Structure 1
Amino acid sequence: MNDWTISGGRVLREGTLAEGDLHLAAGIVAGQRASGARRLDATGLLVLPGIVDIHGDAQERQLQPRPGIGIPTALALRDSEAQLLAAGITTAFLGVTLSWEPGLRSLPAWRALLDALDEARPHMAADLRVHLRFEVDNLAAMPDALADIAAGRVHLVAFNDHTPSILKKLKDDVQAAKFAGRAGVDVATLRQLADAVAARRPEMPEARRQLADAARDAGLPMASHDDASVAERETFRALGAGICEFPMAEEVAAAARAAGEAVVMGAPNVVRGGSHIGWAHAAPLAERGLVTVLASDYVWPAMMEAAFVLAGRGVLDLPAAWALISANPAEATGLADRGTLADGRRGDAVLVDAARRAPVATFCAGQLAWISSAGAARLAG
C-alpha cells in the first residue's frame, strides 16, 4: 500500500478552500506526511472530498446497452467502476431495481448482480454498494429481498411504486413496446403479467411493512421515491424512511426538510436546467435548502458538473455546492467515515481541474485509483 502527499493544491476543509497539502496514510486522511510517501503535484488544482452517489442506475446501460441485449454482469460492473472513478465518484450506491418485470430488472438479474458484486469487490477500488429499489408490488421477490437484507448484501432500501404508471403506459402501444423491449418479452405477455400483479395490489401495504421492518432490523437507511404529496411522505416517514427521493412537488420537499430529512434530487436536473419530465428545477431548491443531496440519477459525470453549475449561479459557493455531492449524501446514508477531508476520515479524494470542470486523479481509501494523462505527468517519486 502506498501513502501519498498531494501537494500545492487548494484543499477543501471545513467548508473552505485553501492552499495546502493533503496527506493520505494507511487508507485515511493524516495530519502529516508519512515516511516514504509518494507525492503528486496538485498545483493549480482543487483537492476535494470524493463524491458519494446515493442514487444512480447508469450501470443499467452497461448491463443492457440496447433493449433486450444483455452483457455479462462481471464485465458490466468492471466498466461501471471505471466510469465512476473517472467521474470522481468514490462511493456509489448502485440503484438496482427489483421489479416484477422480466429482464433487466427481474429477480434473476438481481441475483446475478449481487453475486458478481461479491466476487468483484476484492478487486475494486471504489466502494460499490447496493441501493435496493424495491417495487412494492413485487411480492414474489420478497423472500429474496428480505434474505439479502439480513445477509448484509443491501446497504440502502428504497420503496418504489411504479406499477400504477406502468399500467397506464402499457395501454399505449408505443410506450408498451418500450417496456416490453427492456423486459425482453412481447407486449401481450407483459400486459398479462402486469394485470396479474395489479390483482394482488391489496397485499402491497403489508409487504411494504415487512420490508421496512427488515431494513430497520438491519440498521439500513430507507428512502421513499417520487413522493407525490405530503401525506405520502408522512406514510413513508412512519415506516422509517428518513430520505425523500425525487419529491414531485415543492411542498413535499419542504415538509421533509421541516422534519429534518434529507431530500434528494438529480444532478442531471441541475446540469440541464430543469427536470426532463417537468418536475421542479433542483438548482433553486438546493439554493433555498430544500434539496440537500444531489445524485447521479442516470449520468455519473453530472454530479461534479452540477456542483460547478450551482457555484456559477452565485448563490452557493463551491464548498457548499460540493457538500451536496459529498458530505451530505454520506451523512444521509450513515457513512460517518467519509464525505470530508478531515483527519481520520477515509482517504477518498478527487483532484479537479476547475477550468475544465474535469477530474485529474481519484483516490479511494488512500490509494490512487484513477488518473488522467495530465495527472500522470504530475507524479513524482
Structure 2
Amino acid sequence: MGWRIAGGQVLQDGTLDPGELHLAGGVIAKAGGGRSFDATGLLVMPGLIDIHGDAHERSIQPRPGIGFPMGFAVRDAASQLLGLGITTAYMGVTLSWEPGLRSLEAWRGLMAALDAAKPAIDLRVHLRFEADNLDALPDALADIAAGRVHLIGFNDHTPAILKKLGNPKEVAKYAGRAGLTPEAFRTLIEGVAAKRGEVPATRRKLAEAAAARGLPMLSHDDATLEDRALFRGLGARICEFPMAEEVAADARAAGEHVVMGAPNVVRGGSHLGWASAAPLAERGLVTVLASDYHWPALLEAPFAMARRGKMSLAAAWDLVSANPAAAAELSDRGRLAEGLRGDVVVIDPAGPHVVAVFCGGELAHLGAGGARRLG
C-alpha cells in the first residue's frame, strides 16, 4: 500500500516548501496511490537518525538493582524511540569490565533480545567498547563478524573513574550501577588498571575486525590532538564528544564528522561543563547531534537551534538526519528524495510534537490528532 502525504511543508533539497510526498514500495516515490495523510499545518521531515543513544539503559535498569527482562526493555525502548520520530536508532551499548548493567552478561542478553525483536524502526547497535574490557574481546569480535554490530566506539572511562576514587559519592554511584559494595568496586578497578598495558593491542584487534566488516568507527571524549590522531590512525573517522574546541577543529579540517549531544543544545550547555554544542554547530565545528542520554532532546534540538536565529530549521535538521546518515555511511536515508527509504516524521511545530511516523514507507505511529488526518 502506498501513501500520499499532502498539505504540509515538506523538507526537500534544503528548504521547507508546501508540497506533497509519495511513499510506495518502502521508498519515496515520484507518485503513487493508496491512502492519504492530511499534513495541513504540519512539517513533513526526514526521520530522525540517532547514532548514539543510551537511554535504553533506563528501560533495562530504571534504578540500581531494579532490572527488567531484556526483551521487554527492547520493546519499550523501540516504542519510545518511534514516538519521538526516531526511525533509525543506534543503541549505544557499553560493553564494560563493570558487572551489572554494562557487563558481558548484559551484552549477551541484549544481543539475544535484539535478535528476537522485530521493531518498526531500524534498531542498530553502537558498540561502546571499554578499553580495559580484555575478557570481553572474543565476544565483541564474534558479534562484529556475525553482523550484530553496526558502529564501533572506542571508550576509555577507566582513567576518569580512577581519579574519582577519593570521592565516596562518585564511588557509590559506580558501585551501585555495578551492583557492588564501594570496597568491592575499588578492588575491581584497581585490578583492571593493573592491565592497562594490554589496551593498545586490544584496540588494534577491534579496529581490524571493524575494518574487515566495513563498519564506521568513532572515538569518544578526545581530550587532545594526540587522542584524535591515535584514533584516526585506527580508522575512526567520527569524533564524538570532543573535550576541546581545537580537537573538533582538527577533525573538521580532516573532513571528519563531529558529534555532540542534543541535550547540550536543549539545555544551553554541557552537563559536564564542556563546550556548548549550539555555537560550535553554527560555526560548522559540530556536524551531528545525538540523543546521548535523553531521546526527546533529539527532536527538540533543531527547533532550539532555529530559535537562536543563526540557522534555519531546514539547516538544523541536517544535524539530526542527513549528517548522521552520512557519518554512519547510510546512503539510503536522511533526506526526502526519490528512491530513498520512506522514513518520514510529520511534526506539529507548535510543540513540537510528533503527529505521525512512517518507517520504510509504512505508517508506524500516530500521535495526538493523527488519526483524524487519515484518508
- What TM bracket, shorter-length normalisation? over 0.9
- Deviation digits for residues 240-259 of structure 1 (CA, Å, limit 9, x no counterpart): 00000000000000000000
- Deviation digits for residues 172-215 of structure 1 (CA, Å, limit 9, x no counterpart): 21111111111111111111111111010011011111110110
How far apart in 2 are the matches of 1:61 and 1:337? 31
How far apart in 1 are the matches of 2:75 and 2:146? 24
1:25 maps to 24
Q: State yes or no: 1:208 paired with 2:207.
A: no
| Structure 1 residue 171 displacement after superposition | 2.8
How far apart in 2 are the matches of 1:195 and 1:124? 41
2:355 maps to 360
| Structure 1 residue 230 displacement after superposition | 0.9
How far apart in 2 are the matches of 1:154 and 1:10? 36
Q: State yes or no: 1:65 paired with 2:62.
A: yes
> Which amino acid counterpart does residue 218 of structure 1 have in structure 2?
R
2:228 maps to 233
| Structure 1 residue 169 displacement after superposition | 1.8
CA RMSD of aligned residues (A): 0.7
Q: State yes or no: 1:170 paired with 2:169.
A: no
**Structure 2: gaps (5+ residues):** none
SS at match of 1:298: coil
How far apart in 2 are the matches of 1:373 and 1:379? 13
Which runs of 4 or more aligned residues in structure 1 lie more than 3 Å from their structure 2 counterparts after TM superposition?
none
- Deviation digits for residues 237-276 of structure 1 (CA, Å, limit 9, x no counterpart): 0100000000000000000000000000000000000000
Aligned residues: 375
**TM-score normalised to the size of structure 1?**
0.97
1:95 maps to 92
1:190 maps to 185
Aligned to 2:114, which of 99, 112, 117?
A: 117
> Which amino acid counterpart does residue 166 of structure 1 have in structure 2?
I
Identity of aligned residues (%): 65
How far apart in 2 are the matches of 1:31 and 1:192? 62
**Structure 1: gaps (5+ residues):** none
How far apart in 1 are the matches of 2:78 and 2:291? 14
Aligned to 1:296, which of 283, 291, 299?
A: 291
How far apart in 2 are the matches of 1:106 and 1:366? 37
SS at match of 2:370: helix
How far apart in 1 are the matches of 2:130 and 2:165? 17
| Structure 1 residue 170 displacement after superposition | 2.8
SS at match of 2:320: coil
How far apart in 1 are the matches of 2:101 and 2:238? 26
2:244 maps to 249
How far apart in 2 are the matches of 1:79 and 1:3? 28
**TM-score normalised to the size of structure 2?**
0.99
2:53 maps to 56
> Which amino acid counterpart does residue 277 of structure 2 have in structure 1?
A
How far apart in 1 are the matches of 2:258 and 2:302? 16
> Which amino acid counterpart does residue 98 of structure 1 have in structure 2?
L
SS at match of 1:324: helix
How far apart in 1 are the matches of 2:367 and 2:137? 43
How far apart in 1 are the matches of 2:75 and 2:166? 38
